[in-house]
Chain A
Amino acid sequence: QQPVQSPQAVILREGEDAVINCSSSKALYSVHWYRQKHGEAPVFLMILLKGGEQKGHEKISASFNEKKQQSSLYLTASQLSYSGTYFCGTVHAGGTSYGKLTFGQGTILTVHP
Chain B
Amino acid sequence: DAEITQSPRHKITETGRQVTLACHQTWNHNNMFWYRQDLGHGLRLIHYSYGVQDTNKGEVSDGYSVSRSNTEDLPLTLESAASSQTSVYFCASSFTGNQPQHFGDGTRLSIL
Q: Do A and B bind each other?
A: yes
Interface set of A (CB-CB < 8 Å, partner B): 2, 29-30, 32, 40-44, 47, 49, 87, 89, 91, 96, 98-106
- Report the interface size for chain B: residues with CB under 8 A from the other chain: 27
For residue B48, which residues in chain A have a CB less than 8 angstroms away from its CB?
A: 99-100
19 contacts between A and B (CB under 8 A): A32-B101, A40-B105, A41-B103, A41-B105, A42-B43, A47-B98, A87-B43, A89-B43, A91-B97, A96-B56, A98-B97, A99-B50, A100-B48, A100-B58, A101-B33, A104-B42, A105-B41, A105-B42, A106-B42
For residue A91, which residues in chain B have a CB less than 8 angstroms away from its CB?
A: 97
For residue B10, give the distance in angstroms from its CB to the closest CB of chain A: 12
Contact with A along B66-88 (1 / 0, CB 8 A): 00000000000000000000000
* Inter-chain CB contacts under 8 Å: number: 55
User: B94 contacts the other chain (Cβ, under 8 Å)?
Assistant: yes
Interface set of B (CB-CB < 8 Å, partner A): 31, 33, 35, 40-45, 48, 50, 56, 58-59, 90, 94, 96-106
Q: Is the CB of A41 within 8 A of B42?
A: no
